[in-house]
Amino acid sequence: MRQAESAQLSRTVLVRIRSALPALRPSERAVAELVLADPSRAAMMSIGDLAEQGGTSTTSVVRFYKKVGYRGYSDLRLDLARETARESLAHNVSAEVYEDINTSDSLRDIVSKIAFNETMSIADTAQVLDVGKLTEAVDAISSSRKADIFGVGAGGLVGQDLQQKLHRIGLTSFSWSDPHGALASAALLDDAGVAVGISHSGTTVDTVDFLKAGKKAGATTIAITNHSDSPLGRAADIVLATAARETPFRSGAMGSRIAQMMVVDCLFVGVAQRSYESSVTALQKTHAAVQGRKLPRASSTD
């Protein structure tokens, strides 16, 4: 068995389905989204019922389960039942927390659903994150002359966090909010530079263009994305995969960001560890510089 296939089969069924979403046809995606919306219910459905509920055909269901690594529908149903039961027992949650937030939910229900999904986003990301690829990314950033970082929306916020962390240990890095500024800076990179693109979907055009510009200039390119087989993933030398849990209501501002932040923290700590003494010294100096500031006294005219 090839290494990529082995890694895919080692993932939980729900993680595999989420990862496959961008590569699915619309009819197959409808089935996938139905399964993800309520996996415990999907585990009890016949192939005909699943096709009917998804507004598609049994042929589309067959194509769907084969694309996520199953030879038969019964194997998919069995794994769905096992996975939802395992998560429910491990985290002492009911099946309702898998459902999207709806108008009848109380604030307590909302807290439970968000806490569960964000906790599992971190746990799933820890499972799928390739430590070998993470090591390559740490090597590239540790030895780089400059790191340019770009993302849009929630990805941009995560990029700012990575830049701030790297800057505090003395590494030259820039987080760009303007696509044109990002492209211009990426064009000036060379083989001593790194370009980091952050996008949950991996299809954000500006982020993909930024990474391609960095690669054309000779830089090492790193993608942080939920979908390795996406335009951003294919444009990168190194892909750091996340496994965020998202639904129509809990969109990119929640699940993707918490998973991306975990990857950023792992990446930063790995880089800081490479130069432990100097990193600790730099962190102490920057902390002291900020901590030592005193708030100005309020003016009597304020």
* Residue 219 and residue 151 share a domain: yes
Domain membership of residue 125 (yes or no) is: no
Question: Same domain for 145 and 91?
Answer: no
Whether residues 92 and 137 share a domain: the answer is no
| Residue pLDDT tens, the chain, 302 long | 333 333 444 457 888 888 888 788 999 999 998 998 888 889 999 999 999 999 999 999 999 999 998 999 999 999 998 887 776 655 555 555 555 666 778 888 878 777 777 888 888 898 889 999 999 999 999 999 999 999 998 899 999 999 999 999 999 999 999 999 999 999 999 999 999 999 998 999 999 999 999 999 999 999 999 888 899 999 999 999 998 876 544 444 567 888 999 999 999 999 999 988 988 888 888 888 887 666 666 555 55
Name the token pair of 275: 């130069």
CATH number at residue 202: 3.40.50.10490
35 and 142 part of one domain: no
Instruction: Output the six-digit token pair for 154.
Output: 């929630």
Please check whether residues 137 and 283 belong to one and the same domain.
Answer: yes
Question: Residue 37 domain-assigned?
Answer: yes
For residue 102, is it within any domain?
Answer: no
What pLDDT was estimated at residue 90?
Answer: 53
Interatomic CA distance for residues 18 and 204, integer angstroms: 17
Long-range contacts of 157-161 (CB under 8 A, 24+ apart): 157/257, 158/198, 158/224, 158/257, 158/260, 158/261, 158/264, 159/196, 159/198, 161/261, 161/264
Q: How far apart are CA 40 and CA 61, in angstroms?
A: 17
CATH value at residue 37: 1.10.10.10
Position 45 scores a pLDDT of 93
Residue 118 in any domain: the answer is: no
Tell me how long the chain is.
302
Q: Are residues 52 and 181 in the same domain?
A: no
Same domain, 268 and 177: yes
- The single residue listed with the structure tokens 């919306």 is 37
Domain boundary among 41, 76, 96: 96
Tell me how far apart the alpha carbons of residues 82 and 76 are, in angstroms, rounded to a whole number. 10
What's the pLDDT score for residue 73? 94
277 and 135 share one domain: yes
Q: Is residue 112 part of a domain?
A: no
Among 76, 96, 116, where does a domain finish?
96
Pairing of strands 220-225, 193-198: parallel
Q: Does some domain include residue 212?
A: yes
Q: Is the domain of 138 the same as that of 264?
A: yes
The per-residue pLDDT for 99 is: 58
Given 96, 122, 156, the domain boundary residue is 96
pLDDT the model gives residue 118: 81
Number of separate helices (H) and strands (E) present in the chain: 15, 5
Q: Residue 199 burial by CB count (10 A; 0-12/13-18/19+): exposed, middle or buried? A: buried
Range of the domain at 235: 131-289
Across the chain, the runs of DSSP E, i.e. the strands, are 146-151, 173-176, 193-198, 220-225, 238-241
Give the total number of structural domains in the chain.
2
- So what's the pLDDT on residue 77? 92
140 in Cβ contact with 194 (< 8 Å): yes
The token duo for 296 is 């100005």
Judgement on whether residues 149 and 235 belong to the same structural domain of the protein: yes
User: Residue 222 region, left (φ>0) first, then alpha (ψ -120 to 50), else beta?
Assistant: beta
Looking at the fold, whether 75 and 137 belong to one and the same domain comes out as no
Asked whether residue 116 is domain-assigned, the answer is no
Considering the domain architecture, whether residues 222 and 140 belong to the same structural domain is answered as yes
Please report whether residue 126 resides in a domain: no
